[in-house]
Amino acid sequence: MPAIAKEKIKPIIPFSVDGEEDLRLALQKHKGPFLFLKKDGELFAYALLNHQLLEKLKKGNFSKETLLRHAKPLDGISRLDDHISITSLFQIIGEPFALVRSEDGRPSGYIQREDMLAELFKQENESAHFLKILLASIPMGIFVLNREKRIIHCNEAGLRMIKLPHEAVLNAPGKSIFSHDHIAKAFETGKTYLNHLEFANGVGVLADYSPIQNFAGEVEGLIIVVQDLPMVEEMALEIEYIKDLNKDLNAILSTIYDEILVVNAKGELLRYGENIIEDFWQVDVKTLIGKNILDFEDQGLFTPSVIRLVMEKRKKVSVVQETRTGRKILAVGNPVFNEKGALDRIIIASRDITETTRLKTELKEMKEISARYKKELDQFKNKDRFLKKMIYCSPKMEKIMHQVKKIAEFSSTVLLSGESGVGKEVIAQAIHQFGKRSEKPFLKLNCGAIPETLLESELFGYVKGAFTGAEKNGKEGYFKQADGGILFLDEIGELPVHLQVKLLRVLQEQEVIPIGSTTPIKIDVQIIAATNQNLAKMVEEGRFREDLYYRLNVIPIRIPPLRERPEDISLLAFHFLQQLNEKYGRKFYLTPDAINVLECYPWPGNVRELQNIIERLVVTADHAAIDGGFVSQFLTFGSERKKMKPVVTRIMPLQEAMESVEEQLILLAMNQYKTTTKAAKALGISQSSVSRKYQKILNKKNRKTEDAVFK
């Protein structure tokens, strides 16, 4: 490197830190902005002396110890010689001064940065050439003025903007091209003046005036940075566009209900929305800008951190965070990647779901309560619908239903007996509806309606490959399907003997073995059996197993035939008639004499026969009123009527019994002969007696009918 002019090199006047030399004396000797420190006879550090520091030192407010703490070592300060590199050049420019060493390597002086730059501009060497290339690469115009306010350097971009050649600008006074006032103010005040519109050579440019100062605060030169107006306009438009985008972004963030945070790849907060979750951060969010959000997880403010999870998984993550105060926050983290695929930003949307979670829990509880109430209501409805099917008023049926409600509380085996059509299945359903198994299955199997070869597989089921033609996955039997509920075995007397043994095992062990298997399956089934046969007689004849009979006959219930409870006939008849009227949209009704005829009939087919007769009457009737004569056409009394004796269903006073028999005889005579005269002749009494008694009977029947309807 060429030698530096000697007048630019300033001598080093060291200050001894371990001697008795006075600090004030050293400052008087040292006129430059640097104070060099010497220890044990060698220079080892320097201190930068700006105007304020000099004032403090002169007043004695700055001790030697404090000065040593602010001193910088001399190591690394470049030596000015011919072998200086480009990197060293930058080190020289970056430092406030360059140290000049003598031939023996000892520091002999220093040169300030401004003087070094000026020398580099003047000299044509590698370093100066590189500096000029560096300035030429700057797209904005650069003009450098020295102390004499002359232009000592400029770049090509600046020359193109003012449309002047290099020779017309170099060494020219700055005021010949730029504003004399701004140049003078910058030198006088040391302040920077920005964005001033200048007209040079008829061209408008935007100029910034930036003074070059040394550490003593003195202005050594001036840099003028210029931009042409088209570029400025383009930049202004771009800035305005960015401002609009920023305004839109802020508007969007302010309208979003969630708390929005934008963090960088390190987890540092860059931006946040207006809606901040109250009492979550416990500090003003403004103070968190630039801070790492991950630190708050380490402090236990919340857990887990959605930012950490997004960094680990590199995909969208949703978590529920819980704070110290017990609040629950739903946080959703979305990663944003740059064009190279690296994580650039993380957008976190958070929402306080504490109240939502509480409401959700309450809603769940309310749904459970509602479901329970609905279940109970359905049970009541089912029972109510079933009770509407239970039509009776006779003392015998009252006694049976009272017994049914007691039995329903237990799981004992029940044996129902009675003639065909008396309603054994209805009683079985009543036990199911009134009992604890009402929510479980109720299955019915007629033992006499299924072939013997299939009955076993239907009852007990079978496993895969049990026999030819079996389903490939096997089949569950009725016992397994009814687990927890009730299995109603109708016509139990028809059950084959070999199946009676297996049924006995089910009743005793509460387990079944499917066909083709040896593994028993535990079940919990209540058995209700029904028969219209005399099982006790069948046991005596050897057609029914005695042990099974006693195992079934735990709770025996005999359902009386309809002829033994004539009080229920009229109620059942009205019930069946009402069902048919609703089904077909008709208005049929039974006259009192029709009810009387129905009550006098023995009903060998019981309730089933009564229901069929009522339907037959409705289908064939020509008038809405169904009278006794019309009913008699469908009832075959035959020889039974001649043999039929007065029906007495309970112990009663003799007079009451006589009145009952008299009533039946008069009604029968009137139904058969139609007139009171013929009826009186058949009964052997006077016509007036028949007329009076018959009218009394009709009035009584009318009242009874009205009471039944209202009931």
Task: Give the CATH number for residue 539.
Answer: 3.40.50.300
Domain membership of residue 342 (yes or no) is: yes
Share of the chain above pLDDT 90, in %: 18
Question: Do 592 and 516 belong together in one domain?
Answer: no
Mean of per-residue pLDDT scores for the chain: 79
pLDDT in tens, 282-292: 667 777 788 88
Cα(219)–Cα(221) distance, rounded to whole angstroms? Answer: 6
Domain membership of residue 164 (yes or no) is: yes
Question: Do 19 and 77 belong together in one domain?
Answer: yes
pLDDT of 640 reads 45
Domain boundary among 53, 86, 116: 116
Domain boundary among 203, 235, 267: 235
**Measured over all CA atoms, what is the biggest interatomic distance in the chain, rounded to whole angstroms?**
172
CA distance to 66, 390, 443, 586, per residue, from 384 (Å): 101, 10, 21, 25
For residue 280, the 8-state DSSP code is: T
Average pLDDT estimate for 122-140: 64
- Of residues 34 and 452, the one with the higher pLDDT is 452
Average pLDDT estimate for 29-51: 70
Share of the chain above pLDDT 70, in %: 74
Domain membership of residue 247 (yes or no) is: no
- Written as six digits, the tokens of 609 are 């026969």
Domain membership of residue 106 (yes or no) is: yes
pLDDT grade, residue 620 (50/70/90)?
very high
Q: How many helices (DSSP H) and strands (DSSP E) are in the chain? A: 28, 29
pLDDT of 159 reads 87
Determine contact, residues 647/563, Cβ cutoff 8 Å: yes
Task: Write down the residue that tokens 């009550």 correspond to.
Answer: 599
Question: Do 701 and 602 belong together in one domain?
Answer: yes
Look up the CATH number of the domain holding residue 153.
3.30.450.20
Lowest mean pLDDT: which of 197-201, 383-387, 686-690?
Answer: 383-387
Closest CA to 178 of 225, 221, 139, 136: 225
Question: Do 459 and 522 belong together in one domain?
Answer: yes
pLDDT in tens, 95-121: 456 677 666 767 777 766 556 655 655
pLDDT of 114 reads 56
Tell me the residue range of the domain where 33 lies. 6-116
Domain membership of residue 23 (yes or no) is: yes
User: Is the pTM value of this prediction over 0.75?
Assistant: no
- Written as six digits, the tokens of 362 are 């309450």
pLDDT of 581 reads 93
Domain membership of residue 125 (yes or no) is: no
Cα(645)–Cα(637) distance, rounded to whole angstroms? Answer: 13
Question: Do 160 and 215 belong together in one domain?
Answer: yes
Question: Do 397 and 542 belong together in one domain?
Answer: yes
Domain membership of residue 381 (yes or no) is: yes
555-558/414-417 β-pairing: parallel
Q: Report the number of distinct structural domains present in the chain.
A: 6
> Taking 70 as the threshold, does the pLDDT of residue 86 lie above it?
no
Question: Do 694 and 639 belong together in one domain?
Answer: yes
Query: Residue 476 forms beta bridges with which residues?
Result: 461
One-letter amino acid of 291: K
34-39/42-48 β-pairing: antiparallel
Backbone angles phi, psi at 531, to 5 degrees: -155, 150
pLDDT of 75 reads 62
Cα(482)–Cα(525) distance, rounded to whole angstroms? Answer: 6
Exposed / middle / buried, residue 565 (Cβ in 10 Å: 0-12, 13-18, 19+): buried
Domain boundary among 501, 531, 560: 560
For residue 515, the 8-state DSSP code is: B
Backbone angles phi, psi at 312, to 5 degrees: -75, -45
pLDDT of 317 reads 85
Task: Write down the residue that tokens 């004396």 correspond to.
Answer: 25
Question: Do 409 and 551 belong together in one domain?
Answer: yes
Q: Assess whether the previous peptide bond of 139 is cis (omega < 30° from 0).
A: no
SS3 category, 63: coil
Question: Do 161 and 224 belong together in one domain?
Answer: yes
Domain membership of residue 248 (yes or no) is: no
Exposed / middle / buried, residue 87 (Cβ in 10 Å: 0-12, 13-18, 19+): exposed
Question: Do 316 and 385 belong together in one domain?
Answer: no
Look up the CATH number of the domain holding residue 627.
1.10.8.60
pLDDT grade, residue 125 (50/70/90)?
low
